[in-house]
Structure 1
Amino acid sequence: MGAEAEERPHGAAVVVDGFGLRGPRGWAFREVSFRAGPGTLVAIEGPSGSGRTCLLLALTGRMKAKEGTAEVGGLPLPKKMAAVRRISALGHVPGVSELDPAFTVAEHLGERAMLQRRFDGSVRTFLRRPSERRAAARARIDEAVAAAGLDLDALPKGERTSVRDLERLEALRLSIALALIGRPRLLAVDDADLKLSDADRAEAWALLRSVADSGTTVVAVCSEAPEDALRITTLDANATAPAPATEARAEDSEDAEDAAGAPGDGDKAGRGDTAGSADEADKPAGDLTEDTTEEGAADALAETGRA
């Protein structure tokens, strides 16, 4: 019982001061400063292509910032990126941590629980009887599914429902449940309100708010933040209005436009080109792919030390 209590999530405080990431095509984000206590719901708001996803990945130790400082759970970035990755988890991030449409819900949950036990389990866990390990894994799955509000019985085929048959909100709940199996101190979710109706959007924010209220710090990228969240705004490259201290500013409109990508490319424009720049800032732009792809985001993670 005591060991289980120690594994319970407790939110990681996030302290950011002048945080910025620059690549060969300009700044993905710059001069981001804010403070969020444990269990805070943080919403990164801004237009597509304004560096929202790059900021999300930098705060979770998946991308290496080039200026400023940040601490997550007392761990400094970018110095302790690996340690920050161990206490944070990614929910839905297109091109980085996506659900496999061919897998069933049960397969996703079972695989994540197995990986969690294999790579993050203590020696004591491996010494348990197989039946005890299975029971513990099932308990973790049930806990995460309940926290994500995913009603397995309401799915078309229950746990045997394929991901391709899930509604957008159900898929979001599943991705959050998978992340919560690891009992992270910080949960990161991209495109939290993308392609959701007003009713589903309200449910999504209620879910993220409940996760934060349970003790896990939540950072979510969105197009429009709810009023009760700590709002961090990334501005359009052409924005000229001054930004408060809690906003990410694109100060050089020409560089920022390059970082954001062409209009209409969305967040993936920033995710591939500027993400790859995390460790490649001194390389010419021609060394990176001109068109952003989902593979570009995975390559960016590999370049920062995480496959």
Structure 2
Amino acid sequence: MTAAGVDVVARGASVRGPRGPVFEGVDLDVPAGGLLAAHGPAGSGRTSLLLALAGRMRLSGGAIRVGGHVLPAHGRRVRRLVAVARAAPAVDLEERLRVREVMTERCLTSPGVTQRAIREAFDALGLAPHGEDLVEDLGPADKLLLATALALAEQPGALVIDDVDDGLPPDAHAPVWAALDRVREHGPTLLAGCLRPPPPTPGLHTLLLPRRSRDRLPAGTATAREDSDT
């Protein structure tokens, strides 16, 4: 289940919405296998930034390079490299489904993903969900790790997971971040969004995003844009 991580670089990356900048002038350098924690309050553009890094939101300005592929020209290649585990409301698990159903769905929709690969990802994250459990009945930590495991099973070069600390009780923060840090042992670079930065760990890169806009990301904003690769 090990994949090669990719580096992620941004220079002056910006996205504007109808009411002004969602985020602007972002510079970052995350080496292959590193951990980015983009943190800030609601309205700071965390989700939009993560989707832009994943090739699923078009920039208004600046540039992003993922594993040597520059956006937007190489959008398809970047989308193949980067798996999005959660970036609500655009990307999230269907809460009305059972765990076994979301596993089956992932095997059908993501080439190369198997039930075995998903269960190996569960083991890597210390997760042991029951197949008949409804996603909506899972606790916030298990729901987060389930989404992460499904994405990890795709063997991506980088993995996006937003709202890491959303709804987590205080005593769950450290175990969840420790579990996510183990994702990097399997290769992928981890691009995370959170309200507050995680505990210090080797390879951690933090980015504070100030609140800039009241724009909210509408459902369906993250799309697999058909950018031309050259």
Same fold (TM over 0.5): yes
Q: 1:202 to 1:182 in 2, by over 3 A?
A: same
Amino acid corresponding to residue 57 of structure 1 in structure 2: L
Instruction: Please tell me whether the aligned partners of residues 61 and 78 of structure 1 are also in contact (alpha carbons under 8 angstroms).
Output: yes
1:244-296 Cα deviation digits (max 9, x unpaired): xxxxxxxxxxxxxxxx21xxxxxxx432xxxxxxxxxxxxxxxxxxxxxxxx2
Post-superposition offset of 1:304: 4.0
1:80-121 Cα deviation digits (max 9, x unpaired): 1121111111112211222222211111112101222xxx35
Q: 1:83 to 1:167 in 2, by over 3 A?
A: same
Instruction: Please tell me whether the aligned partners of residues 75 and 83 of structure 1 are also in contact (alpha carbons under 8 angstroms).
Output: yes
1:205-248 Cα deviation digits (max 9, x unpaired): 111111123321001110111233210111133xxxxxxxxxxx
Instruction: Please tell me whether the aligned partners of residues 104 and 159 of structure 1 are also in contact (alpha carbons under 8 angstroms).
Output: yes
Alignment of 1:231-242 (within 5 A): 231-237=206-212
Highest Rg: 1 or 2? 1
Residue 189 (structure 1) aligns with:
161
Q: Secondary structure of 2:9's match?
A: strand
Q: Distance in 2 between matches of 1:167 and 1:24?
A: 35
Residue 20 (structure 2) aligns with:
26
Work out whether 1:218 is the aligned partner of 2:180.
Answer: no
Q: Please state which structure has a larger fraction of its residues in helix.
A: 1
Q: Distance in 1 between matches of 2:78 and 2:165?
A: 25
Corresponding residue pairs, total: 224
Q: Please state which structure has a larger fraction of its residues in strand.
A: 2
Q: Distance in 2 between matches of 1:201 and 1:68?
A: 33
Q: 1:22 to 1:303 in 2, by over 3 A?
A: farther
Instruction: Please tell me whether the aligned partners of residues 163 and 193 of structure 2 are also in contact (alpha carbons under 8 angstroms).
Output: yes
Which structure 2 segments of 5+ residues have no match?
none
Q: Secondary structure of 1:236's match?
A: coil
Post-superposition offset of 1:12: 0.9
Q: Distance in 2 between matches of 1:216 and 1:207?
A: 14
TM-score, reference length from structure 2: 0.91
Alignment of 1:132-171 (within 5 A): 137-152=114-129, 158-171=130-143
Which region of structure 1 is more displaced relative to structure 2, 194-203 or 54-63? 194-203
Residue 249 (structure 1) aligns with:
none
Which structure 1 segments of 5+ residues have no match?
1-6, 122-135, 153-157, 238-259, 262-268, 272-295
Residue 301 (structure 1) aligns with:
222
1:168-190 Cα deviation digits (max 9, x unpaired): 11111111111112111111011
Q: 1:35 to 1:93 in 2, by over 3 A?
A: same
Q: Secondary structure of 1:9's match?
A: coil
Post-superposition offset of 1:58: 0.3
Amino acid corresponding to residue 142 of structure 2 in structure 1: E
Residue 101 (structure 2) aligns with:
107
Which region of structure 1 is more displaced relative to structure 2, 183-192 or 220-229? 220-229
1:63-91 Cα deviation digits (max 9, x unpaired): 00121111111110121112111111111
Q: Distance in 1 between matches of 2:155 and 2:17?
A: 33
Alignment of 1:47-62 (within 5 A): 47-62=41-56
Instruction: Please tell me whether the aligned partners of residues 112 and 181 of structure 1 are also in contact (alpha carbons under 8 angstroms).
Output: no
Work out whether 1:270 is the aligned partner of 2:216.
Answer: yes
